[in-house]
Amino acid sequence: METIKLSCVQTMETSDPPMEMETSDPPMEMPDPVVEATTEAPMETPMETPAEPAPSGGSGCSAEAMEVIRLLNEYRAENGLPSIPASKSLCTVADTHVSQSQAMGDPQDGCNMHSWQDCCYTSDHANMGCMQDKPKELTCYQAPGFENSAWTSGTMTPQDAIDMWKGSPGHNRVMINQGTWSDMEWKAVGAAVGQNYAHLWFGAEPDCA
């Protein structure tokens, strides 16, 4: 049986179809000001627009990362939303996190997939800096970062990652700016795909690289 986990911050498990899914729901709060989760009003049917090719932001994103970003922007276009430019900086953050995630394996002691080797991210969002500060710690990107994460016991692909996030309400809202995220305008996105993990990073400021 293939096991699949998602992380954006809550835990959910399903067995129909035969797989387990674990989500750590999307980062629900943002610093200065803190934005709380809100109840969503029914959405109107969006006008469909053609997907725009995402700018590459330079050579800092792998082919797999660019495929995740292409699929993301295609999905956003289906929902009447503009493409998000690919970010070399956020691809660097995502790639570094995939490498650490593969090395660390399954997080322990209440930590979820937003955790890094030097910090533990828990489902109560008590240590949001563990996620949001990583772009400025690792790159020139100074705005907070927001992350969708996924894990599978099989081999992760860009399509798998996007499908998993689309199937999880919390992750899906981040990707298409619903609910708490409706007022956010994503201006940079980065991604990385490893053997078992995928990470997708969003930022509200243009890339600095």
Q: In the chain, how many domains are there?
A: 1
How far apart, in Å, do the first and last CA atoms of the chain sit? 42
pTM for the full model?
A: 0.76
Asked if residue 15 is part of any domain, the answer here is no
Residue 158 within a domain: yes
**Interval 147-177: pLDDT, tens:** 999 999 999 999 999 999 999 999 999 999 9
Report the alpha-carbon distance of residue 92 to residue 184 in Å, rounded.
Answer: 22
- Nearest alpha carbon to residue 73 among 170, 188, 155: 188
Whether residue 76 is contained in a domain is answered as yes
Residue 83 lies in a domain: yes
Is residue 120 in some structural domain?
Answer: yes
pLDDT at 65 over 90: yes
Position 18 in a domain: no
The pLDDT score that the predictor gives to residue 106 is 77
Q: CATH number of the domain at 118, please.
A: 3.40.33.10
Please, what is the angle between helix 63-78 and helix 158-166, to 10°? 30
20 occurs within a structural domain: no
Structural domain including 100 reads 4-9+53-203
For residue range 8-18, list pLDDT tens digits in order.
533 233 233 33
Residue 161 domain-assigned (yes or no):
yes
Q: Which of 40-64 are b and which e, b meaning 16 or more Cβ less than 10 Å from the residue's Cβ? A: eeeeeeeeeeebeebebbeebbbeb
Is the predicted pLDDT of residue 77 greater than 90, yes or no? yes
